[in-house]
């Protein structure tokens, strides 16, 4: 698969991060894989949170895809959650690329993008059946916050936040 067109935002070793449209085929492929992963962990569709592709358009959001050796292997984006807060959505790393720094590179690029658009904080929802994500967010400086959003009252929902 050829890399999607987009502005290169970050390169960490051989990981390249590019901004793409949320509805771009490469983004949708990774998002479907992310939802399948969540579905395997939690059942159902994986995540029923209402999401509109327009929410990930600058300056109110962004969607990023990570490439490793030219192949798309991860993604993540942010959308506005109030005037100065970004909500992290659709973080995912393909199983074959896990443990290689992809998620951390995407997270850092998402935070940088949000900061560049004037956001001062990032928040996210996660589930208790994602121990690797929980560990990564904790080690990246995220702290537990009161649950919010679509799953705020769902059993197993864990919300995190971090000041940028």
Answer yes or no: is 87 within a domain.
yes
Answer yes or no: is 1 within a domain.
no
Question: Can you give the pTM of this predicted structure?
Answer: 0.90
**From the CA atom positions of the chain, what is the Rg in Å?**
15
Answer yes or no: is 148 within a domain.
yes
* pLDDT of 7: 43
Query: Measuring CA to CA, which residue among 93, 87, 32 is closest to residue 66?
Result: 93
Section 139-156 average pLDDT: 95
Answer yes or no: is 61 within a domain.
yes
Check residues 78 and 13 and name the one with the higher pLDDT: 78
HSE at residue 99, side-chain half, CA atoms within 13 A, is: 2
* Cα 14 to Cα 57: distance, rounded to the nearest angstrom: 26
Answer yes or no: is 6 within a domain.
no
40-96 per-position pLDDT tens digit:
999 998 888 899 999 999 999 999 999 999 999 999 999 999 999 999 999 999 999
Q: Which residues contact 106 (CB under 8 A, 6 or more apart)?
A: 17, 64, 66, 74, 75, 76, 91, 93
CATH code, domain carrying 35: 3.40.630.30
Answer yes or no: is 126 within a domain.
yes
Looking at the structure of the chain, the number of domains it has is: 1
Domain containing 37 equals 15-163
Answer yes or no: is 8 within a domain.
no
Answer yes or no: is 10 within a domain.
no
């Amino acid at each position: 698969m050829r890399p999607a067109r987009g502005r290169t935002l970050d390169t960490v070793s051989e990981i390249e991060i590019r901004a793409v449209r949320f509805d771009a085929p490469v983004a949708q492929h990774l998002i479907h894989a992310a939802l399948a992963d969540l579905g395997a962990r939690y059942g159902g569709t994986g995540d029923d949170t209402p999401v509109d592709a327009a929410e990930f358009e600058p300056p109110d959001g962004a969607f990023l895809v990570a490439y490793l050796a030219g192949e798309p292997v991860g993604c993540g984006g942010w959308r506005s959650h109030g005037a100065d807060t970004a909500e992290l959505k659709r973080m995912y790393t393909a199983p074959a690329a896990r443990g290689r720094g992809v998620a951390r590179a995407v997270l850092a690029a998402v935070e940088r993008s949000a900061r560049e658009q004037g956001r001062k904080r990032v928040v996210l929802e996660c589930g208790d059946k994602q121990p690797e994500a929980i560990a990564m967010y904790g080690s990246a400086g995220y702290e537990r916050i009161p649950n919010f959003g679509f799953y705020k009252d769902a059993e197993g929902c864990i919300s995190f936040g971090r000041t940028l």
